[in-house]
Structure 1
Amino acid sequence: MKYPVKLQRLGDDEIMVTCPDLPAMTSVGTGEADALREAVDGLCSALQMLIADRQAIPPPSAAKRGMKLVELPPLAVAKIGLYNAMLQHGIRKSELARRLQVHLPQVDRLIDLRHQSKLEQVQAALEAVGYRMEIRVMAA
């Protein structure tokens, strides 16, 4: 999952990053490489705000000329997939907790992009809502 971002120079080395798909996302870095690394955290924070507000996660749009793409970590992509599946099918967190036979705080952590859940736990939750996770490795 790669979101397009705009880079804007603020000063000599400072670069601000924004995302047209997520207006709440803004991050700043020193130099382009640092700004793009910081953008990952900014994207995850903006997406987490949508999750907290029970809003739909917008899919990434196509990058326009001059934009860069920022790829989300695999665990975040899996958690977003779980959240989207729950939202789409009207599955509440309490229902998922019942299906997984876990306590509600464990489900909260499964859709918290800041929490380092085990990928296997997210995979089990996806299966509990009728989805599967597929991971592919390709040449760069």
Structure 2
Amino acid sequence: MFDYPVELTPDGGTVLVTFPDVPEAITFGADADEALLQAVDALETALSFYIEKRLPLPVPSAAGGRPTVRPSGLESAKLGLYRAMTEQGIRKADLARRLGWHVPQVDRLFDLTHASRFDQIEAAARALDLSVDVRVSPRDAA
């Protein structure tokens, strides 16, 4: 759902990582493996800017043989909720009312640096008439 393709470019002894679909996300590493590890943080940071500015999240393009990077599981769940909320035209205040929460609680739910509890994510999903599915799969599986 949030598998974003990356471009890896040698850059003077390091490897530069850029995201064609998320131009704000740029990082590097000593080699390709380290660069891809750093890319997760760069992606999450860049996507948090979209949430802060209440912008739609960029849609990942086809990988086309390029490596992909995805946010961690918790952040992916938060991003899925944010995308659903914006697609349904629901504001944070509306979601807070549906949940019986204060708006700062909803703000924390969409803060990608905040370690939200999973039961809160599930409650927000139910308030949006959605469910959360979790699966564990081999690393190379889609």
Q: TM-score, normalised by structure 1?
A: 0.92
Name 1:53's counterpart in structure 2.
53
Name 1:115's counterpart in structure 2.
114
- Note the alpha carbon deviations across 1:94-129, whole angstroms, 9 max, x for none: 111111111111100111111111122111101111
Spell out the pairing of 1:84-123 with structure 2 (5 A cutoff): 84-123=83-122
Moved >3 Å (runs of 4+): none
Spell out the pairing of 1:1-140 with structure 2 (5 A cutoff): 1-12=2-13, 14-65=14-65, 67-140=66-139
SS at match of 2:23: strand
Letter in 1 for 2:108: R
Shift of 1:34: 1.1
Range moving further from structure 2, 39-48 or 68-77: 68-77
Letter in 2 for 1:19: F
Higher percent of residues as strand: 1
Letter in 2 for 1:57: L
Give the Cα separation in 1 of the matches to 2:70 and 2:76: 9
Letter in 2 for 1:89: Q
- Structure 1's unaligned 5+ residue stretches are none
- Note the alpha carbon deviations across 1:17-70, whole angstroms, 9 max, x for none: 0000111110111211111011001111111111111111122111124x2111
- Note the alpha carbon deviations across 1:70-96, whole angstroms, 9 max, x for none: 122111111111111111111111111
Q: Percent identity?
A: 44
CA RMSD of aligned residues (A): 1.3
Shift of 1:138: 2.7
